[in-house]
Structure 1
Amino acid sequence: MLAKYALNLGLGKKLLKNARNVEYLPSRWSVADTSKNLTDVANHMRIACSVADCTTLDYGESCMQWTWGNISYAFNSYYQLQMQNSQSCDFDGLGMVTFLNPSVGECRFLVGVTDTTTAHSSAFTPP
């Protein structure tokens, strides 16, 4: 998997390199359940993005252009940060786990990495 950003620190051709031997979580993602009424989803997105990285949803970024994708990206970012804990994808029944990669074009839905150095527990579960 490639790094999120190609970063040049002004050291000529020396670019940062991807970490080696990174262990990823299983290929599964949390997405918005489009069969549900998503009109009251803003609070869930706010909670997810207050903890997880939702910078790709900002204006001009790769995932800002499609509404249900914004919701799904926020849900997935939180879900991955919580080590794919099944409860962290619920969002009051508005989220669901999928095994099909929901990435579209440049909007890549990432899979989390395992935390083998410490015991990880969920900070909190969204309402």
Structure 2
Amino acid sequence: MLVLDWRHNLIGHRWSKGVLTSPLTLLPVKLVSVLLLGLVIATGFGGDSSPLLNFSPVFVWVIWWVGMSITVALLGNFWALLNPWKIIFGWAEGIHRLVRPGRNLSLARDYPARWGIWPALALFLINA
């Protein structure tokens, strides 16, 4: 039986770990991610009413979903790095720690295991 394993840990190498985890590399990527979220929201509310001429539907359905699917399939889970909501929360938590040292912005509560996937399914069905 032939087993092909295409996985490669880029952070396992000292030089690539330094580049990929450097704030000089991560900050521009995070800024672009948050600015794109802002642009999608702004053009969604204030852009052209035609879905073909508005940036938001084209970006979300064509560029983001298709592009992110291909990127994740070929290169790995980039969503953990690009998630703008996580980035914004991290920045807000950092500011909160500066203003109120020793306290976290997070509630630090565990997700109830008995809920399972039902909230996600309910929200999906509401939005679908």
- Structure ranking higher in strand proportion: 1
Which one has a larger percent helix, Structure 1 or Structure 2?
A: 2
State the structure with more CA Rg.
2
What is the TM-score normalised by the length of structure 2? 0.21
Q: Normalising by structure 1, report the TM-score.
A: 0.21
Question: Comparing both chains, which one has the higher relative contact order based on Cα–Cα distances under 8 Å and sequence gaps of 6 or more?
Answer: 1
